[in-house]
């Protein structure tokens, strides 16, 4: 069974601070996605990384895929209250059209 | 209308009721999924359909019965549920890209409460 562990599970910081969320596994994934989910809504895809070592930036968000394609990180610079939400990582399984999800990191940015 | 649409958004049902959740995708994708999201648990994959054929059933109890009449529509029929089945039920669709990667697009979910 392929599992993804996210840390921390909860994070509450002040507006303007930086933060990093981690997604780790002992398994290799063909791709890694990050989603953000707001209360009462479904997850929304933020980014997909597919190559070991790949780095993608989305405004103040930086996503990195580990060299061995077993882990990923999400770094937010100068966090804003609008960044509040549940962040989910999901790994793509080679040869199967499905994703394995981590348990999520609930992020709260206080004004 | 675009994306993935789920109805109803909220549902309260008794343990002896029969109800159905509906999902429709307007993205031209070839795969559809049902996920269950409970508090403090990762998203649990329930069922996968590829080109209308069920390709995965993750040991889901028979009180949940999926139906996929075509590649754009997916239903989840519910009967004799238990209170612990209360959760957010999410539908998603995907289209495998040229190199075999999968990106899921989710509906807004149905918040189900079993009383």
Q: What pLDDT score does B85 carry?
A: 96
Contact status of B50 with chain A (Cβ, < 8 Å) = yes
pLDDT digit string, tens, across residues A73-100:
999 999 999 999 999 999 988 777 778 8
Nearest to A54 by CA among A37, A82, A34: A34
Q: Which residues of chain A make contact with B96, given a CB cutoff of 8 A?
A: 97
pLDDT digit string, tens, across residues A6-62:
999 999 999 999 999 999 999 999 899 999 999 889 999 999 999 999 999 999 999
Percent of chain B with pLDDT over 90: 73
Mutation site for A-interface testing, chosen from B24, B38, B100 by largest number of A Cβ within 10 Å: B100
Residue B97 pLDDT level (bands cut at 50, 70, 90): low
Q: What pLDDT score does B98 carry?
A: 59
Q: Which of A33, A42, A98 sits opposite B107 (nearest CB)?
A: A42
With beta carbons less than 8 A apart as the criterion, state whether A2 and A29 touch: yes
- B1 pLDDT above the threshold of 60: no
Contact status of B82 with chain A (Cβ, < 8 Å) = no
Contact between B100 and A33 using a beta-carbon 8 Å cutoff: no
Residue B100 pLDDT level (bands cut at 50, 70, 90): low
User: In chain B, whose CA is at the least distance from the CA of A87?
Assistant: B42
Q: Which of B100, B101, B109 sits opposite A42 (nearest CB)?
A: B109
Q: What pLDDT score does B32 carry?
A: 93
User: Between B40 and B87, whose confidence is greater?
Assistant: B87
Alpha carbons A104 and A22: distance in angstroms, whole number: 10
Q: What pLDDT score does B7 carry?
A: 97
- Cα distance from B51 to chain A (closest Cα, Å)? 12
Residue B6 pLDDT level (bands cut at 50, 70, 90): very high
Q: What pLDDT score does A108 carry?
A: 97
Residue B39 pLDDT level (bands cut at 50, 70, 90): confident
Q: What pLDDT score does B59 carry?
A: 86
Percent of chain B with pLDDT over 70: 94
Contact status of B18 with chain A (Cβ, < 8 Å) = no
- B86 pLDDT above the threshold of 60: yes
Which residues are within 8 A (CB) of B62 and not within 5 positions of it... i.e. 6 or more apart? none
For the segment B90-109, the average pLDDT, to the nearest whole number, is 84
Alpha carbons A51 and A40: distance in angstroms, whole number: 33
Cis preceding linkage at B8, omega within 30: yes
Q: Which of B40, B48, B103 sits opposite A33 (nearest CB)?
A: B103
Contact between B42 and A41 using a beta-carbon 8 Å cutoff: no
Q: Which residues of chain A make contact with B32, given a CB cutoff of 8 A?
A: none
DSSP chain A: ----EEE-SEEEEETT--EEEEEE-SS--SEEEEEEE-TTS--EEEEEE-STT-EEEETTEEEEE-TTSSEEEEEESS--GGG-EEEEEEEEPTTSS-EEE---EEEEEE-
Contact status of B108 with chain A (Cβ, < 8 Å) = yes
Lowest mean pLDDT across A74-78, B1-5, B107-111:
B1-5
Q: What pLDDT score does A1 carry?
A: 64
With beta carbons less than 8 A apart as the criterion, state whether B22 and B73 touch: yes
- Cα distance from A102 to chain B (closest Cα, Å)? 6
Cis preceding linkage at B56, omega within 30: no
Which residues are within 8 A (CB) of A94 and not within 5 positions of it... i.e. 6 or more apart? A28, A29, A30, B100
With beta carbons less than 8 A apart as the criterion, state whether B36 and B21 touch: no
Q: Enter the tokens of residue A97.
A: 């059209």
Nearest to B90 by CA among B104, B70, B71, B72: B104
Average predicted confidence (pLDDT) for chain B: 90
């Amino acid at each position: 069974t392929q599992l993804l562990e996210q840390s921390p599970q909860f994070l509450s910081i002040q507006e303007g601070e930086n933060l990093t969320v981690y997604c780790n596994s002992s398994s290799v994934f063909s791709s890694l996605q990050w989603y953000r989910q707001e209360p009462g809504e479904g997850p929304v895809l933020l980014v997909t990384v597919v190559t070991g070592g790949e780095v993608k930036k989305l405004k103040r968000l930086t996503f990195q895929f580990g060299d061995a394609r077993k882990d990923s990180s999400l770094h937010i610079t100068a966090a804003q209250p609008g960044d509040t939400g549940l962040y989910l990582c999901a790994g793509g399984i080679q040869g199967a059209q499905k994703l394995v999800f981590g348990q999520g990191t609930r992020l709260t940015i206080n004004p | 209308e675009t994306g993935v649409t789920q109805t109803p958004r909220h549902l309260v049902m008794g343990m002896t009721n029969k109800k159905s959740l509906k999902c429709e995708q307007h993205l031209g994708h070839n795969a559809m999924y049902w996920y269950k999201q409970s508090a403090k648990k990762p998203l649990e994959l329930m069922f996968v359909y590829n080109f209308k054929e069920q390709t995965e059933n993750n040991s889901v109890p028979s009180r949940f019965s999926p139906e996929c009449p075509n590649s754009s529509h997916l239903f989840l029929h519910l009967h004799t549920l238990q209170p612990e089945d209360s959760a957010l039920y999410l539908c998603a669709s995907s289209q495998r890209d040229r190199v075999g990667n999968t990106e899921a697009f989710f509906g807004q979910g149905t918040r189900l409460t079993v009383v």
